[in-house]
Amino acid sequence: MDSAKNMAYRQLSSVVNPSISTNFEPPTIINGSQFNRTTLSDNFQKQEQFFERIATLSTSEQKSYGYSVSDLINYCTYMGERCDLSNDFESFYNPLHGNCYVYNSGWNDSKQIVTATREGPKNGLEMVVNIDQMDYVKQAGSLAGIRVVILDQNQMPFPEDEGVSVGPGQLTYISLQRHEINRLGSPYGSCTEQLFDPFTSAYSAFYNVQYRAKGCEYTCYQKKIMHECGCIDFSYLNITALMENINADNMSLCQSGNFEQG
């Protein structure tokens, strides 16, 4: 590691492993649960503590600990033409995966969407990705590699729930076919043509992406947690800026072992 990465790693280690113990308490039995969560594994506790601490940092601090697109991608072409890493990729921060990068996203109206004119592995997107496994923080998980999600333009990826994992030292080909489904609105159903609705999906407000059912589910879940428990689930998007009658200053992060919040 170079000096800059060494410094960032030491800073991150101080965040992950503070000198003061956090006294993580295993949760008590939940009424109505189908199993007794009285004993949590050490790995689970460490991962929860890690992500909870990272969630307390500002967005800029969180991104600074992750890889930049130039550090992550060593080589990139689309239909044989070199990618412009600084302009061809949009980025977002995922609470579980860190810095994520989207090629040909359609999120920025000023950037032209590229299309493929021929099929085959040489006529699509080719990348060589730097895994740099030696720099991994073990508290973040035991897996190495990258997560690849393929979507249409103007849509938000959710790599924790979809996509494929690509391990280090592997040559991987991904081919796909597109199936388009058009759902009818009134009077045949309740579907709407309003694709950008921050009320039903906070991701539309933050990233200018179209409505997706998964984004709506995550938004509704976070709203429910904030109203019922008075805290923010760090695994999902922080939507306090969009919530009415919510004092963001009084809203803390939910503690994974505390089932009595709120």
3-state secondary structure the chain: CCHHHHHHHHHHHHHHCCCCCCCCCCCCCCCCCCCCCCCCCHHHHHHHHHHHHHHCCCHHHHHHCCCCHHHHEEEEEECCEECCHHHHEEEEEECCCEEEEEECCCCCCCCCCCCCCCCCHHHCEEEEECCCHHHCCHHHCCCCCEEECCCCCCCCCCCCCCCEEECCCCCCCCCCCCCCCCCCECCCCCECCCCCCCCCCHHHHHHCCCCCHHHHHHHHHHHHHHHHHCEECCCCCCCHHHCCCCCHHHCEECCCCCCCCC
Instruction: Report the alpha-carbon distance of residue 80 to residue 122 in Å, rounded.
Output: 7
Q: Residue holding tokens 């919040």?
A: 261
Residues 28-45: pLDDT tens digits? Answer: 444 444 444 556 677 777
Does the pLDDT value for residue 260 go beyond 70?
no
Task: With cut-offs at 50, 70 and 90, classify the pLDDT of residue 164.
Answer: very high
Question: Averaging pLDDT over each range in 120-134, 144-158, 192-206, which range is the top one?
Answer: 144-158
Does the pLDDT value for residue 206 go beyond 80?
yes
Start-end of CATH 2.60.470 domains in the chain: 3-15+40-166
The verdict on pTM exceeding 0.85 is no
Amino acid 224 reads K
CATH number attached to the domain at 3-15+40-166: 2.60.470
Does the pLDDT value for residue 23 go beyond 60?
no
Does the pLDDT value for residue 229 go beyond 50?
yes
Of 110 and 11, more confident = 110
Q: What is the mean pLDDT of residues 66-88?
A: 93
Does the pLDDT value for residue 15 go beyond 60?
no
Of 194 and 228, more confident = 228
pLDDT value of residue 91: 94
149's tokens: 């999600």
